[in-house]
Structure 1
């Protein structure tokens, strides 16, 4: 069964469907209609394809420019000391001024920095000597995106994540494409980068998401409520919630050793005593619970953007059934939005997810002896199918204020016996 909130709540207003996985530029009606027309006519024209090629090539090079600026501290230094000449910025970060000048010019071309042209600079430019006396700076929007880690628009870690995955391309080809195998998550050494990607999202959006899910906040305010964060990474979501809801008990679960070590350190530094972290795979976790699930199970299970990375979905979902304390447990499942039909994913976010899936999500899932769904599991009815195969009743799509992910409440069987029936099956 797949339902939307408005389908089973007569008092609820009709749900306005949000554009799934579209950037602002690609969500316009003209863009959508032109894409649909191109698909119907057999694909893009030669000119349209040329424009797409140039867009992808420039985007790839822009990503390299951002990655270099991130790794070398250039964005942070420019935000702190700009306007600055290339020589001044090079001194601030102890790098070669000629290479810094080249990077700055690339950052301007990509739209991530600004350039002031003085009279002296005009003469240098006319003489073809590079305009080294001109000054570079970042405006407010550029600082927010590239240097202000607390801004809701901070997005620099995404570039670190994308380029970091490219470094393992040869391994993915050898172990994946040619041998049909997978890659361990630890091989990527991206746990801290992923933590940076998630930290800003959770700091700004997680509590509003919780508030949009009926009954969830009330339950989190109930003393003793047990909350399981599956695939917690370095614990960004777990810790935000533990601080906001001190009466609840939060457990973060992840199989990656380095992530759990860092999560425990973050909890210690934040002096949070209601958050703990367990290093274990989800499918092994029910068997290591030391007491009956009815006592030590969970009232809320949260799986955000993670189950597509954990091998086969059906046994994974059965493991989640095993840790649900009762039929009243709230199991919230969120995954990147998209479609099972690749024609529907022809937009910038769809391209980005396809690349991440190819280089990271699919190899990691297959590396855990799974078939691998890829980053985009599919459209909402696909989630309902997986849930029912694992013994749940279906899913209800939630109206959460987020344009990039689906959010579902997974519907549990109505009795404890039915909830427990067959949870160990494959």
Structure 2
């Protein structure tokens, strides 16, 4: 049976496929709900609403409000929103809501590799930059990482740390030729663009004989990293404010870039400096978001997230700091081109995960 076409009200418009129109509008309404829900989920994260529901059994809005010191009238419709999005369950017979255990782990367990709540904070922070991003679309200017709302810095660490916790020591480092053995004996490691230092400290804890230094050009993030390291009493790690082009030359055995090379306005210059600071038998490890070889291979939920982040954050930072824009969905070949321009002769994808690619680069 063919779908009927309808003529729009204006004579100059083409005939419309009614089914296609309805399907598109359904998608748009779903996106409206997702946008509102992301903000409400961040609020739920900040106020401890998820934690109060985790592993506690069914409860109503009055109970949840009392447990969290919040106002029941707001909690009432927050629960409706969350149930409509499938985050929490609702029992119409009792009028109570519950948080499934699997959802509770993903939303509240900061030590789980499935933890995702930091993503709400990232999205919320980037939405605050909309006016500025709209302007730079027209002017061609950029926006530095440090110019974003402070929630971006904390949210990024919270979002990426679970993946590093679950994969870095057990999967990613072993995929690099001979690196684990060097770390066990006592290697020198630089973590470039380390942010709050999550990746640096995960490695330092796992390899106490090695010496780790995290570098970042964002001073406030380095201060946070220092505070975290001090609080956890990790003796073989330190942090220093420095850019990817001027961190000290110490003949490192391993230099790491965790989800940051694509943010840099001069990635070739960054890797050229790394080449000079790397031992002749040393290794560059580059962690990048998952992306396809062709644009159409990114037409999926992961590609949608990463391309959105690229437009709102990563590409503007690259535009502001040099103008060589890899972008968050840079292909393997685009990254290899940068490495070879910097003088490296060996480049391979060592392994990958659902959200990341791991590259090994050597002289």
TM-score w.r.t. the length of structure 2 is: 0.88
Q: Which has the higher contact order (CA 8 A, sep 6+)?
A: 1
Q: CA deviation at 1:165?
A: 0.5
- Write the deviation string for residues 140-173 of structure 1: whole angstroms up to 9, x where unpaired: 1111121222222211111211122111111122
Q: Which among 59, 67, 89 is matched to residue 114 of structure 1?
A: 89
1:342 is aligned to 295
2:34 and 2:122 map into 1 onto residues whose CA distance is 15
Q: CA deviation at 1:308?
A: 0.8
2:233 and 2:73 map into 1 onto residues whose CA distance is 46
Q: Would you say 1:373 and 2:331 are equivalent positions? A: no
- Write the deviation string for residues 300-354 of structure 1: whole angstroms up to 9, x where unpaired: 1111211111112211211111211x22011111211213632221111111111
Q: CA deviation at 1:233?
A: 0.8
2:72 and 2:20 map into 1 onto residues whose CA distance is 44
For the structure 1 residues 179 and 340, does the alpha-carbon distance in structure 2 shift closer, same or farther, using more than 3 Å as the test? farther
Q: Which among 166, 169, 175 is matched to residue 212 of structure 1?
A: 175
Q: CA deviation at 1:111?
A: 0.9
2:202 is aligned to 240
Q: Is the Cα–Cα contact under 8 Å of residues 191 and 258 in structure 1 kept in the other structure?
A: no
Give the SS at the match of 1:329: strand
Give the SS at the match of 2:196: coil
1:10-159 aligned at under 5 Å gives the runs 46=21, 49-50=24-25, 52-79=27-54, 81-118=56-93, 134-159=95-120
Q: Would you say 1:352 and 2:305 are equivalent positions? A: yes
Q: Is the Cα–Cα contact under 8 Å of residues 252 and 282 in structure 2 kept in the other structure?
A: yes
For structure 1, the 5+ residue unaligned runs are 1-43, 122-133, 413-426
Give the SS at the match of 2:212: strand
Q: CA deviation at 1:251?
A: 0.6
For the structure 1 residues 319 and 369, does the alpha-carbon distance in structure 2 shift closer, same or farther, using more than 3 Å as the test? same
For the structure 1 residues 399 and 199, does the alpha-carbon distance in structure 2 shift closer, same or farther, using more than 3 Å as the test? closer
Q: Would you say 1:177 and 2:137 are equivalent positions? A: yes
Q: Would you say 1:269 and 2:231 are equivalent positions? A: yes
What is the root-mean-square deviation of aligned Cα atoms in Å? Answer: 2.0
For structure 2, the 5+ residue unaligned runs are 1-18
Q: CA deviation at 1:51?
A: 5.2
Q: CA deviation at 1:390?
A: 1.3
Q: CA deviation at 1:236?
A: 0.6
Give the SS at the match of 2:348: strand
2:123 is aligned to 162
1:221 is aligned to 184
Richer in strand (by share): 2
State how many pairs are aligned: 342
TM-score w.r.t. the length of structure 1 is: 0.76
Give the SS at the match of 2:351: coil
2:348 and 2:113 map into 1 onto residues whose CA distance is 28
1:404 is aligned to 355
Q: CA deviation at 1:179?
A: 2.3
1:82 and 1:368 map into 2 onto residues whose CA distance is 50
1:217 and 1:55 map into 2 onto residues whose CA distance is 46
Q: Is the Cα–Cα contact under 8 Å of residues 91 and 97 in structure 2 kept in the other structure?
A: yes
Give the SS at the match of 1:299: strand
1:7 is aligned to none
Give the SS at the match of 1:398: strand
2:308 and 2:336 map into 1 onto residues whose CA distance is 26
Give the SS at the match of 1:141: helix
Q: CA deviation at 1:108?
A: 0.7
